[in-house]
Amino acid sequence: TDRKKLHTAPVGQVFRLRPFHVLVATGGGYAGYRKYEDYKLEQLEKRGIEVPVKLASEWEVALYKSVPTRLLSRAWGRLNQVELPTWLRKPVYSLYIWTFGVNMKEAAVEDLHHYRNLSEFFRRKLKPQVRPVCCVHSVISPSDGKILNFGQVKNCEVEQVKGVTYSLESFLGPRISTEEMHFSQAPLGNSFQQQLVTKEGNELYHCVIYLAPGDYHCFHSPTDWTVSHRRHFPGSLMSVNPGVARWIKELFCHNERVVLTGDWKHGFFSLTAVGATNVGSIRIYFDQDLHTNSPSYSKGSYNDFSFISNNKEGIPMRKGEHLGEFNLGSTIVLIFEAPKDFKFNLKAGQKIRFGEALGSL
């Protein structure tokens, strides 16, 4: 009897843990399969073959979301903070540079031994002269990356990639009260899209920029504007690479994101930093109260913070000024109003660097 007791307790514990292990293994294996499918799609695109849109079903999205990406991202963040021995730094960073095509000649500090851990290497600064800010065009790219989509917002839907959309209201959240904005807004009876357009004759535009792991991970102000409000959505941390963005509808609405809203000379302006797998950390330099990928996560929630007070009318940002940073890479979405003659100087799929023109009047 004693021997049975000794043997049955551990078996019971293993049995209780087994469903979790199966869930992680199944979800992780499926995520790996999707990565392989994404790779095949990329190869077809490079050959100029148009790939038909194939959206994930509800059970596929649920299975992907079952992978504990938030926990894994926090673990990855802690691993990134571990200080590497001096002798190990060059081999580790050189492997990363080779894998993701990092151009270290642009880095402010090229010596790999200078970076104590992976986090410092990811957030490396650039030499000032390598990213000149365009003075001619009114809106510049806030970061390095790849243009996934751009254009006018239509019918309250925004394209994350060609043929795959998400809801404008779900992405930005409920309308912000007029007391927290510098300008008057349209009546509540209009659509959500019309409420954001504050001046007659203006249209709403959007631009989506994907930051790959090898890109420069800081982001900057895309224009001269005033940030009046921050809305933080805790959420999933699924991959946001172009293959997944083409596969999961409303991917950006599922993921954790930080929405900065305010105004520029033509009215409403917003910049949203979208989190992704291993990018649980989104930092906004002037917002010390922001804490992303927190263990206390409430599904479907969001929290607001206003930068307008009795003696402060928001945070003024100059075009090209440092705004925030990611760890590893992610996505930035710009949504703003401008006159109807605003034109983008872009092509879908093109690579762009911080400081280069997005568009102008």
What is the set of active-site residues? 144, 220, 330
Which residues, including other chains, have CB under 8 Å from residue 347's CB and lie 6 or more apart?
147
User: DSSP string covering 277-293, please?
Assistant: TT---EEETT-TT---S
User: DSSP string covering 274-334, please?
Assistant: EP-TT---EEETT-TT---S-SS--TT--EEEE-EETTEE-EEE-TT-EEEEESS--EEEE
Whole-angstrom Cα distance, residue 119 to residue 144?
18
- Which residue type sits at 30? Y
Whole-angstrom Cα distance, residue 142 to residue 223?
9
* E strand segments, the chain: 139-140, 145-152, 157-161, 164-167, 202-210, 218-220, 225-233, 257-264, 267-274, 282-284, 303-306, 308-309, 312-313, 315-317, 322-326, 331-339, 343-344, 351-352, 357-360
Whole-angstrom Cα distance, residue 242 to residue 246?
6
b/e for 32-43, b at 16 or more Cβ within 10 A?
eebeeebeebee
